[in-house]
Chains A and B, each alone.
Chain A
Amino acid sequence: MAKRIHSKNSLVTYLLGGFFSLYVLFLYGPMFIIFLLSFQGPTGGMTFPIQEYSLHWFKELFSDNIAADVSGSFQRSIILGLMVMTLTVTISVIAALGFRRNFKGSGIMFYGAIISLIMPGFLISFGMGLILQLLDIESTWYTTALGAQLTWTLPFGLLIMFAVLARFDRSVEEAARDLGATSWQTMRYVVVPLLLPGITGVALFGFTLSYDEIPRTTLVVGDSNTLPMEILAMTNTLTTPSLYAIGTLTTVVSVASITFALFAIKRMQDRLGSSQIASSES
């Protein structure tokens, strides 16, 4: 009897394992192909077979042969991403803490903030572009595009903070006050240290959402493109494996920032583990 149950279980395990393998292949297969082809030799084309492995198309990317501002747009995207990240963290953390008070109209305000998540991004950009034109405001990547991206990242940040705070035991705040901490001290020494891993998560989301944002940015980015916008433009004109090289490069940046953030979260949890007072002593 026991043996039969066991064999039945392993059959299910194989079936589910096979299904999962297919899923992973479907998820990462396309990316892996792009990754491989980006190392195509100088004589190779945009499809298989690979003639020889080289970094030719990466070099090509930064040469004058390409009529696109790859390094400039890359820089702009990084700076914009950091700006979006900072604002998203600041605003969503403060807002989520405020929402805990259940003030009058908080429900309406919450839905008002969340609703921009389900609005088609392109329409937001379109509407924003029209308003800017009416008001005669010039679009640039660091002002109007920044605003457009925040309509996307802020609700995300807010939702993450809600989830983080839902697991937060408020009695530690009461304990801090009971032990003589002012509101500011409670925030500084208890709430923020305990929320820091969650806050880092919000920062990661803020940055990565901005880094590959297109629909909302499209019509309000101004004269200088962000990286995704530049790539989008290039796909129409570029017909060499340099296109794949861009894909590989941008993926590396994304993976690096995610890895960095996860590492930071892990380290923070470890540091929270050890004495925090010792390290923050003046």
Chain B
Amino acid sequence: MSSGKIEISGINKFYGDVHAVRSVDLTIEAGSYCCFLGPSGCGKSTLLRLIAGHETPDSGEMFIDGQSILNTPARDRPTAMMFQSYALFPHLTCIDNIAFSERMHGIDKATRHKNAREILEVVEMSDYADRLPSQLSGGQRQRIALARALITKPKVLLLDEPLSALDENLRVKMRNELKSVQKLFGITFVHVTHTNTEAIATSDKVIVMGDGVVDQEGTPYEIFNHPSSAYTARFMGGHNVLVSQEGHSGQLRLAIGEGQLIDVSKYLTKKQNGLVVAKSYALRRDLCWLEDIKGNKMSAGVENFKSEVDTIEYEGASFKVTLTSGHPEKIIVRISDVDFYKAQFSEGQTVRCCFKIKNLCPLS
């Protein structure tokens, strides 16, 4: 029923000597909400513009619903794009901005204004039909841009960092609205962002990109809980990355700091919850906890190491406690405010940092 399945194979894009997109293969299911996530310059926007037809790839193929689109110019593709700056036409009122595409296709004024008013209602902007873009707030402009893209009845809506121009509260509100619009229209949304929370909150599928390649793809749950690489773990935030050192005779130790190692070899042999040998492991910051140095005996499957509290940062519902240990970056423990107030940790205090072995997520 839903349409807008995107298939990308072997897409390459060079800008001079810069290899912006490197042999990307992707499948995005019809009617799904997909996020390209990565830092600036990772190729995510380029990939989006390649799908839209505003850039031409140097090699590869692209299909939407099984039809090759590479030879179709941008204006004829079944895609619509929402630009980062919205790119509303400053000389046209909201209703004429929205009616622009139908005007280009020679639809008479009465009809196209009627259609535009319908979609204005969907984005709850009916009262602003005759305003100019310059008379709107950021959030209102975004709604107009969304309406202008939707009126073309695209199979795929491409959103280039749609929320980056908004303030934090509005961003959270708008990402919910985008999600509900996507459900309402049942079309594929491809959303480019560098904010991991945005990607997790909106999408059915997250595609983490780095340096022109797809680093990992999966559901938000998979990406957050089982990052497959140190890159994704670091980019998603909320993880400590522990680098492992394989010794002689099958030993496995985790580097905690300079010269500080935890031997976890004994867990390798266990059949249940056995530890897989990997170059490094991700460990969620909120799944670590701190105990007093005098602390009790550890229960099974729990490892710990001594460290000193470096800094404490208040985050509202939680505290971010940075330890002096950690290699190459310092280990961070996120403690709920309730637990924190119970224990009253202070900077410079020596503590015992604990974690469960089963929470170590092997990284490639």
Contacts and interface: CB of A to CB of B under 8 A. Distances in A.
Partners in one complex: yes
Q: A-B pairs with the 8 shortest C-beta distances?
A: A179-B101, A272-B91, A175-B87, A171-B87, A181-B104, A277-B96, A180-B75, A180-B104
Given A179-B100, A277-B99, A172 B89 contact: yes
Given A175-B87, A194-B89, 9 more contacts: A171-B84, A172-B87, A175-B88, A177-B54, A178-B149, A273-B91, A276-B91, A276-B92, A277-B109
8 contacts: A175-B81, A177-B74, A178-B52, A178-B81, A180-B105, A273-B91, A274-B93, A277-B103
B80 interface: yes
Contact of B104 (A171, A185, A272): A185
B87 A194 contact: no
A159 B91 CA distance: 24
Given A275-B96, A281-B109, A180 B89 contact: no
Interface in B62-111: 73-76, 79-81, 83-85, 87-93, 96, 99-101, 103-105, 109
B48 to A, nearest CB: 12
B182 interface: no
A203 B208 CA distance: 51
A189 B104 CA distance: 9
A165 interface: no
A177 B75 contact: yes
Contacts, number: 81
A174 B87 contact: yes
A171 B91 contact: no
A180 B103 CA distance: 9
Contacts of A275: 92-93, 96, 130
Nearest to A281: B109
Contacts of B132: 273
Contacts of B75: 177-182
A192 to B, nearest CB: 10
B74 A171 contact: no
A179 B148 contact: yes
B87 A169 contact: yes
Nearest to B52: A178
A187 to B, nearest CB: 12
Most buried by B among A171, A175, A272: A175
A222 interface: no
B100 A169 contact: no
A168 B233 CA distance: 40
Most buried by B among A177, A190, A273: A177
Contacts of B54: 174, 177-178
A277 B92 contact: yes
A182 B104 CA distance: 8
A277 B95 CA distance: 10
A179 to B, nearest CB: 4
Given A171-B85, A175-B83, A180 B90 contact: no
Contacts of B90: 172, 194, 272
B104 A179 contact: yes
A175 B53 CA distance: 11
Nearest to A185: B104
A177 B109 CA distance: 20
A193 B89 CA distance: 10
Contacts of A181: 75, 100-101, 104
A114 interface: no
Nearest to A269: B91
Interface in A35-56: none
